[in-house]
Structure 1
Amino acid sequence: MSGAHYDLIVVGGGAAGMMAAITAARMGTEVCLVERNPKVGRKLYITGKGRCNVTNHCTPEEALAATPRNGRFLYSAMSRTTPAAVEEFFTSLGVELKVERGNRVFPKSDKSADIIDALFLELKRLRVPILQERVSAVCLRDGAVCAVEMGEGKNRTGLSCKAVILATGGASYPATGSTGDGYRMAEELGHTIVEPRPSLVPLESPDPFCGEMQGLALKNVVLTVRGRKGKIVYQEQGELLFTHFGMSGPLVLSASAHMRDFGKEQYACSIDLKPALDEQTLDARLVRELGENANKDMANLMGALVPRLMIPVLLARADIPGEKKAHDMTRGERRRLLELLKHFTVAVSGPRPISEAIITSGGVKVSEVDPKTMASKKAAGLYFAGELLDVDAYTGGFNLQIAWATGRAAGESAAESIRASEG
């Protein structure tokens, strides 16, 4: 393998890397894709609970509005590769798509494998070789990219090239190959790395009752997150899960993307367990339940209102003994119960480790990258795409939309630059 040459080497076979390689190859560039895993698209297998939330069926402006971290940097790439263009791209590859709640776009089959297979087959059709190797360094000559090094020690080999696209992902989910290698390589090439932090991540709580309800999933509840001054930073209806460390599930992961200042802020979560009923209606229902089951213990009566695992926690927090008869309930006890059903508070101490995050916030500083071309301002012939950049968005297909858009921009720009150099 040593001594082989390609016009362009794409490092990383995830969403951004595959899109970059396909784009450049379609433009007639001789491309090689290097991926350390045995298969490409490993992280795509787990997105959208294994169904792959490809993009969001919205305008480029709406996609940018859902990107709190350096959304403006993505304006050019997102305008050229819109969510509609991504849908068209996959449809042209034979993947039927559908739009679900929140404009989330999925393959009709609900299988992420269909997205990965479509990309893989297109790479195959374009005769793009895929090497299973770990790239250890990008080499420069006179300030310009000239090769990549692969492997370790005596097994180290090299591939010469005219350009490199780094699309190695962030530091989340290291089991999928996102080990932060790209940060190190970018830094070695003169780039500044904004400290990677977890985003779209479960939350830890000091409240012991979370562990007591471990495994309990609540559906159709409303989660509200407030900052130190009581300002609502997130509010949405959906599903969450109690765990041994705190909370997880779709609502919690989405909320975490809005909770960006754990160092300065103190966040408080509140769950409305009965969002369909206002307080007055819910109170009337409580009165009715208590009247119709006057001789029942409260521990038994509560089964009509909340899941079994939650009953002892709710009663303990409302200071109501489980063996208390419904007819002995005081107005004050009923009021406390009502308050908990509408505002079940959970303290939050911080996010789980970055290895458990779906997305990494932080990465290559965007002021050092050309927003139109994704080209490095530090090294000629070097490009970036995807999660390696210091951009991230909320859940809903927006992070993959960023991967496709930056991947295509990098692939196009690298191919055009190579073509121009051949003059």
Structure 2
Amino acid sequence: GSTGDGYRFARQAGHTVVPANPSLVPLVEDGDTCQKLMGLSLRNVQLTVYENEKKLYSDFGEMLFTHFGLSGPLVLSASAHMRHFGSKKYRVEIDLKPALDEKTLDKRLLADFDKHKNSDFINALGELLPKKIIPVVIEKSGIDPREKVNSITKAQRAALLRVLKAFPVEISGKRPIAEAIITTGGVSVREVSPKTMESKKLPHLYFAGEVLDVDAYTGGFNLQIAWSTGRLAGLSAAEEES
């Protein structure tokens, strides 16, 4: 919401300004899975981020499928770790049943399948999953939705388990900076005194808040950064004047 003048002033004063990028921001999917699930909110799921197939971040919480991709508190925090779009590939995997390990979840599936053994597969998951996500989970499992439950093999059940424990969403990027809660980037903290917030390059110049290259997760931490650095900068400047 700012004009960006703070960055311009800092550059004019000789400071290094790390380029600003959106953080704590919704993610854009590479595909149409999320569009099919638009409006579905999930609670108490585990989300894991992979960067070039390497596990980067994982946490529990709430998330939301949108027409463009993923949003919600869990996703916003995850976005802070995804900083190299263009040079690296990102994928999100969602554990839809994090409270159950694979062995326990398999027992649950067998119990549900026993109840619906003469039904079509698509009608056997209503007690396990939200209705809206069932067709998408089945599609990703590779099982024919009209296959009879009593004919599903152990290998097919294993494929279903993989989807339930690691529902995949390929990520192509982040939403625009205008939709971000905060940005990464700003005045390099190496050039600012942490004891006073005074510039190390130009005396009597102080920095505070998001103009600095500091950021944190959701939960009030970024507000606290703004208040704490603002108070320290103000006190230091006032002390200098006196």
Q: Give the TM-score, by structure 1 length.
A: 0.54
Structure 2 residue 228 is matched with structure 1 residue 384: no
Contact (CA 8 Å) 2:62, 2:73: kept in 1 or not? yes
The one-letter code matched in structure 2 to 1:299 is: I
Q: Give 1:409's match in structure 2, choosing from 226, 232, 239.
A: 232
Contact (CA 8 Å) 2:46, 2:61: kept in 1 or not? yes
The 2-side partners of 1:365 and 1:222 are apart by 34
Aligned to 1:337: 160
The 2-side partners of 1:259 and 1:206 are apart by 15
Aligned to 1:366: 189
Q: Deviations over 1:367-419 (max 9, x none)?
A: 33222211223444321111111111223332222112211110111101111
Q: Deviations over 1:1-30 (max 9, x none)?
A: xxxxxxxxxxxxxxxxxxxxxxxxxxxxxx
Q: Which stretch shows the higher mean deviation, 218-227 or 324-333?
A: 324-333
The 2-side partners of 1:208 and 1:289 are apart by 29
Structure 2 residue 119 is matched with structure 1 residue 301: no
Structure 2 residue 49 is matched with structure 1 residue 222: no
Aligned to 2:241: 418
The 2-side partners of 1:411 and 1:334 are apart by 62
* Deviation for aligned residue 1:213: 0.4
Aligned to 2:15: 191
Percent sequence identity over aligned pairs: 57
Gaps (5+ residues) in structure 1? 1-173
Q: Deviations over 1:302-330 (max 9, x none)?
A: 22111111111111111223333222322
The one-letter code matched in structure 2 to 1:346 is: V
Structure 2 residue 137 is matched with structure 1 residue 326: no
Q: Which aligned pairs between 1:274-293 and structure 2 lie closer than 5 A?
A: 274-293=97-116
DSSP 3-state at the match of 1:302: coil
The one-letter code matched in structure 2 to 1:361 is: T
Gaps (5+ residues) in structure 2? none
RMSD, aligned CA:
1.7
The 2-side partners of 1:205 and 1:217 are apart by 16
Q: Give 2:4's match in structure 1, choosing from 167, 177, 180.
A: 180
The one-letter code matched in structure 2 to 1:382 is: L
The one-letter code matched in structure 1 to 2:153 is: T
The 2-side partners of 1:323 and 1:210 are apart by 23
Q: Which stretch shows the higher mean deviation, 203-212 or 319-328?
A: 319-328
The 2-side partners of 1:179 and 1:322 are apart by 53
Aligned to 1:117: none
* Deviation for aligned residue 1:229: 4.9
* Deviation for aligned residue 1:353: 1.5
Q: Which aligned pairs between 1:49-68 and structure 2 lie closer than 5 A?
A: none
Misfit runs of 4+, over 4 Å: none
Contact (CA 8 Å) 2:33, 2:169: kept in 1 or not? no
Q: Give the TM-score, by structure 2 length.
A: 0.93
The count of aligned residue pairs is: 242
DSSP 3-state at the match of 1:311: helix
Question: Larger C-alpha radius of gyration, 1 or 2?
Answer: 1
Aligned to 1:202: 26
